[in-house]
Amino acid sequence: MTRPVLVVDFGAQYAQLIARRVREAHVYSEIVPHTITADEVRAKDPAALILSGGPASVYEEGAPSMDPALLTLGVPTLGICYGAQVMAQLLGGRVARTGVREYGRTALARTGATSALLAGLPEATTCWMSHGDSIVEAPEGFAVTASTTDVPVAVMEDPARRLYATQYHPEVAHTERGQEQLAHFLHHLAGLAPSWTNASIIDDQVARIRAQVGAQRVLCALSGGVDSAVAAALVTKAVGRQLTCVFVDTGLMRLNEGEQIDETFTRQFGVELVHVKAQDRFFDALAGVTDPERKRKIIGELFIREFEAVARELAAGEDVRFLVQGTLYPDVIESGSGHAANIKSHHNVGGLPEDLAFELVEPLRLLFKDEVRRVGEELGLPEEIVWRQPFPGPGLAVRIVGEVTRERAEILRAADHVVVDEIRRAGLYRDLWQSFAVLPAVRTVGVMGDGRTYAYPIVIRAVTSDDAMTADWARLPYDLVERIANRLIREVEGVNRVALDVTSKPPGTIEWE
Ligand code: XMP
């Protein structure tokens, strides 16, 4: 593995964005907590450090700081915003609340001092600021190389100690040529080769998978989503026919999802695929159940039982020790900090319990979602799978308010297909985090032809989001909404009304249950 760039996390959402931007510059990055010690950092042998922004004030009681020895390791280091202030303070500079608050696009001017960090940039650019405190005095040895109208120390650097700092956020798209500045720091000031590419990720993971599983059989539960599909494709590339995939059709999948999985994995990749047609067992177990949490529990438990039955059968023939799991890097970071409140018994539904007697193979553990998608494309997975929007483990059940029956699942599946199809035609599918149909538990009166109808409404739910923690309702063009509504009423039997969900998250959640 190549030496990582460590992004020291001072809180809020900044560290992940920086880590992603570093990866976009084709350099491998990892996020570490600001409490990391210099010894722990040394053990990771980082190629560079980036100190992230954060919401605190450096001089407040209990404000996050870091081991000052991190700054004397001789490792090229870039401090950003709060990270720049921590660097300034630890090295004897001065940070203060001056009353100046800069927020948003701000003009940045070079001071005339020679700058290694800003080499190649024009004398004047714009940057993205978001701070209340300012560095009022740079530490000794630093040259101040850029300022704004209100803030004297916008960029400071000490090339002899390989320390650089920007008060603004180069990782944010609004900073003019910000990505270029980060890449310049990584490639030129830290001397890193842009070697983190799809091909290198695949080679690296293939080698790890081979080393981990040897000649043993590996199992993978396919869900139809991009993560399990890419994980399975990587394992196939590594150990070919040692992989057996299991697809449990719960009856709550999207239209043609099962067929597409068969097509891709059995025909295209030649993987051994066990397609469990468990629809009847799921609908039977869900009969009469309306409580959302009960539904989730029933589906989660039944899914595990179905999967275990297949695993046991396969294991009767030979030793199956390994199970593929599509865990992504953000899950790894988040489970480390363990802050997520339990709003819904969530993200383990549709997953597998930890006490299954398997050793996990997690080929996506180091990857962000956009990297997973690019790797998927490189491995030859179809566009439709690679770019599929997230889909909840319990499937359509959490979009069917009230009882889940075969008939209601059919209505919703057909409606969902119409919504997604029109959104794709409008070219919006990839811009939206999720877009789907919801089936409420009420029926309303309508008139069609010259007859009265008494049927279900469909709710269109479309949101934009970066990470599903918060979301905004998508402002779909009215003509698109109209087309969707017309088609829903015309094509989906049992539907006579269409509504648009204009709730953000919070207060709503993305799914209805
Ligand atoms: P909510 O509805 O809580 O959903 O705003 C946030 C994101 O999580 C997805 N989701 C799930 N994913 N198993 C999953 O793997 C689940 O049980 C589950 N429930 C919700 C949801 O689609 C959204 O992207």
User: Residue whose CA is closest, atom 10 of ligand 1?
Assistant: 392
- What's the pTM value of the predicted model, to 2 decimals? 0.89
Ligand 1 atom nearest to CA at 296? 17
User: Residue whose CA is closest, atom 3 of ligand 1?
Assistant: 509
**Whether the predicted pLDDT of 235 surpasses 60:** yes
Q: 350 falls in which pLDDT band (50, 70, 90)?
A: low
4-13, 185-194, 211-220, 435-444: which range is least confident on average?
4-13
Cα R_g (the chain), whole angstroms: 26
Indicate where the chain has its CATH 3.30.300.10 domain(s).
Answer: 399-500
280: tokens are 């009847």
CB 128 within 8 A of CB 86: no
Q: How far is the CA of 390 from the centre of ligand 1 (A)?
A: 8
Indicate where the chain has its CATH 3.40.50.620 domain(s).
Answer: 198-386
By three-state DSSP, how is residue 306 classified?
helix
Q: How long is the chain?
A: 513
pLDDT value of position 352: 63
Those residues with Cβ within 8 angstroms of residue 267's Cβ, 6 or more apart along the chain or in another chain: none
pLDDT value of position 302: 96
pLDDT value of position 336: 57
Residues within a 6 A CB radius of ligand 1: 343-344, 346-347, 349-350, 390, 392-394, 398, 434, 468, 505, 509-511
Q: How far is the CA of 346 from the centre of ligand 1 (A)?
A: 6
pLDDT value of position 198: 97
Indicate where the chain has its CATH 3.40.50.880 domain(s).
Answer: 5-189
Q: Probe ligand 1: pick from 505, 510, 512, 513, max atoms within 8 Å of CB?
A: 510
Annotated active-site positions, please?
A: 81, 169, 171
CATH topology of domain 5-189: Rossmann fold (3.40.50)
289: tokens are 């159940």
Q: Using one digit for the tens of pLDDT, what is the confidence trace for 52-107? A: 999 889 988 889 999 999 999 999 999 999 999 999 999 999 999 988 899 999 99
**Whether the predicted pLDDT of 342 surpasses 90:** no
**Whether the predicted pLDDT of 343 surpasses 70:** no
How far is residue 206's CA from residue 211's CA, in Å, rounded to a whole number?
9
The three-state DSSP-derived secondary structure of 67-134 is CHHHHHCCCCEEEECHHHHHHHHHCCCEEECCCCCEEEEEEEEECCCCCCCCCCCCCEEEEEEEECCE
Helices 406-425 and 478-491 cross at an angle (nearest 10°) of 140
| Percentage of the chain modeled with pLDDT above 70 | 95
pLDDT value of position 314: 84
Query: Residue 77 pairs with which residues in a beta bridge?
Result: 49, 163
pLDDT value of position 183: 98
Q: 263 falls in which pLDDT band (50, 70, 90)?
A: very high
For 399-500, CATH gives 3.30.300.10
Ligand 1 atom nearest to CA at 394? 17
User: Residue whose CA is closest, atom 4 of ligand 1?
Assistant: 510
Give, in order, the Cα–Cα distances in Å from 143 to each of 68, 228, 339, 393.
20, 49, 40, 53
For residues 336 and 187, the model is more confident at 187
Q: How far is the CA of 352 from the centre of ligand 1 (A)?
A: 15
Q: Using one digit for the tens of pLDDT, what is the confidence trace for 458-485? A: 999 999 998 888 999 999 999 999 999 9
pLDDT value of position 137: 97
How far is residue 44's CA from residue 281's CA, in Å, rounded to a whole number?
49
CB 111 within 8 A of CB 147: yes
Architecture per CATH, 198-386: 3-Layer(aba) Sandwich (3.40)
Helices 292-317 and 279-286 cross at an angle (nearest 10°) of 150
